[in-house]
Amino acid sequence: MQQFRRTVAGLVALALLAGAQAQQVTIEFWHSMGGVLGEATEALVQEFNKSQREVRVKSQYVGSYDDGINKLLAALRAGRGYPHVIQVYDIGARILADSGAVLPLEDLARKEGFDLGRFLAQPRNYYTVDGKLYGLPFNSSNPILYFNMAAFEEAGVAFRPSWSLKDLEEAARKLTKKDAQGRTLRYGLSIPIDSWFVEQISYNSGEYFCNNENGRKARATAVTFDNEAAVAFLDMYARLVREGVAANTGRTWADSQSLFAQGQAAIAAYSTASLTGVLRQVGNRFPLRTAFYPYVGQRNGVAIGGAALYLLKGFPEAETKAAWAFIRFLLEPKTQAKWHLATGYFPVVQGVTELPEVRQAHVRQPNYTTAIQQLLTSKANTASAGCLMGAFPEIRQYVQAAWEETLRGKPAREALREAKSRADQALERYNRSVAQR
């Protein structure tokens, strides 16, 4: 911590001093972490503020990821009221890079002597746009399966660390419990209606979600979410819902998590960032284990989720340096260790998993290692890099609507192709608007 204090002072002092004693610089930080994750975020902000006197961070919860980026874009259009640092989810990467409003953090990191090689490859690659790192990955996640091991033992289903979609469907049927009238007492599977899970089944099966190799070879101009893996996933889920094997809890993750925590679903899919909250909800009701996200055909690898931190342009140099000092603090291995263990997000910099406190915590709770192992064993290619495109928040709504259509009886291929038509129009409008700037 003493070394960090010197780092902050070095970053900020020159810009603050004009022959007189430095004055404390205040910066604004917007984030979208609520609940358990919000508690962990505020704890880090308080720790940073207490660790030195040069910079004070004022943090503000701005609602969901969608709320946060919409609030930022509105402030940018108004030309005022935006923060120094904002946390923006993964699918905002193309939008933030295109906005012209953020500092490419690769340039700032190199100028300030921060070794970009400290980042794990996948988080760094995700936020690299047109060959340059724009956002610094902070809270990175991937999807994992959650298992009620008491239900597994009761049904005679063996645990395995990796599952094909076919294996998952067979296990869900065996794990389902119904009464004499055929009413479901315990569902075999529960997954919230969220486009992210469709995206990830695509990546993990070696499929693209948008063209031009997920927008990594050239700007994406069309979606490809009507791929075979996505079709198989939605058709499977609709089939299991009709049979009373899978739960339809809608788009709200909390409803699905409550069902699972109460023992009314044997398998669930959430983010690794849900781990701490799910463990709290489950308590001592049943043993919990986690596994890799499913795939169709051969396992390729999932893309990261979560969010990155961006620095906004247009502030005095002293405030920009102060904002950079805050980000540096968040990326310190000790800080990353606290964040990882408090939330379930995996560390994004090297060396964190070797720290004694992390090693000991992983021994006590091995589920924290699942997302890390899934990441390390994923193939690094343009499929697992994730789709980089504009209009992604809008496009996700079309995917979720297509999922709902399949639950109402429409074949997944048809529902996804109809959604593709709307999504392609949205992407075309976005690309045209960027070209006109």
Place of tokens 């693209």: 208
Give the class (CATH, top level) of 2-141+304-354.
alpha beta
Q: How far is CA 242 from CA 1, 119, 167, 246, in A?
A: 56, 44, 19, 8
Helix (H) or strand (E) holding 6: helix 2-16
Reported pTM: 0.88
- If one counts every other C-beta atom within 10 angstroms of the C-beta of residue 10, the result is 13
* Token pair listed for 230: 């996505």
pLDDT of the residue at 130: 86
Task: Identify the bridge partners of residue 362 per DSSP, sorted by sequence position.
Answer: none
pLDDT of the residue at 125: 84
- Listed in sequence order, the DSSP H helices in 205-343 are 211-215, 228-242, 253-261, 275-282, 317-330, 333-343
Give CA–CA dist 405/213, Å, rounded.
27
Burial 175-196 (b: 16+ CB within 10 A, else e): bbeeeeeeebebbbbbbbbbbb
DSSP-derived pairing of the beta strands 184-190 and 246-247? parallel
Give 306-351 as a DSSP string. Answer: EEEEEEBSSS-HHHHHHHHHHHHHHTSHHHHHHHHHHH-PBP-BTT
**CATH-assigned architecture of domain 143-302+390-435:** 3-Layer(aba) Sandwich (3.40)
Burial 117-144 (b: 16+ CB within 10 A, else e): eebbebbbbbbbbeeebbbbbbbbbbbb
Tally: H helices and E strands in the chain: 19, 13
Phi, psi of 162 (to 5 degrees): -135, 140
pLDDT of the residue at 14: 43
Q: Can 2-141+304-354 and 143-302+390-435 be said to share one CATH topology?
A: yes
Please enumerate in sequence order all residues whose Cβ is within 8 A of that of 176, keeping only pairs 6 or more positions apart, or say none.
Answer: 184, 186, 187, 188, 244, 245, 266
pLDDT of the residue at 226: 98
pLDDT along the chain (437 residues), means of 10: 52 43 86 92 96 95 94 94 95 92 89 85 86 88 96 97 97 97 96 98 98 96 98 98 98 96 98 91 96 97 92 94 94 92 87 93 92 90 94 96 98 98 98 85
Task: Identify the bridge partners of residue 328 per DSSP, sorted by sequence position.
Answer: none
- The residues spanned by each domain of the chain are 2-141+304-354, 143-302+390-435
